[in-house]
Chain A
Amino acid sequence: GQQVMQIPQYQHVQEGEDFTTYCNSSTTLSNIQWYKQRPGGHPVFLIQLVKSGEVKKQKRLTFQFGEAKKNSSLHITATQTTDVGTYFCAGPGAGGTSYGKLTFGQGTILTVHP
Chain B
Amino acid sequence: NAGVTQTPKFQVLKTGQSMTLQCAQDMNHNSMYWYRQDPGMGLRLIYYSASEGTTDKGEVPNGYNVSRLNKREFSLRLESAAPSQTSVYFCASSRNLAGAYNEQFFGPGTRLTVL
Contact B106 A44 (CB under 8 A): yes
Could you tell me the distance between the alpha carbons of A98 and B48 in the complex, rounded to whole angstroms? 10
11 A-B residue pairs with Cβ-Cβ distance under 8 Å, sorted by A, are A31-B101, A42-B106, A42-B107, A45-B104, A99-B48, A100-B50, A102-B45, A104-B44, A105-B42, A106-B40, A106-B41
Counting contact residues on chain A (CB < 8 A from B), the size range is 20 to 34
Counting contact residues on chain B (CB < 8 A from A), the size range is 20 to 34
Chain A residues within 8 Å of B, Cβ to Cβ? 1, 6, 9, 30-31, 33, 41-45, 48, 88, 90, 92-93, 97-107
Main secondary structure of the interface of B (DSSP, over half): loop
Question: In chain B between 22 and 51, which residues have their CB closer than 8 angstroms to a CB of chain A?
Answer: 31, 33, 35, 40-45, 48, 50-51
Identity of the chain B residue whose Cβ is nearest the Cβ of A42 in the assembled complex: B106
Could you tell me the distance between the alpha carbons of A42 and B109 in the complex, rounded to whole angstroms? 7
Could you tell me the distance between the alpha carbons of A67 and B2 in the complex, rounded to whole angstroms? 39
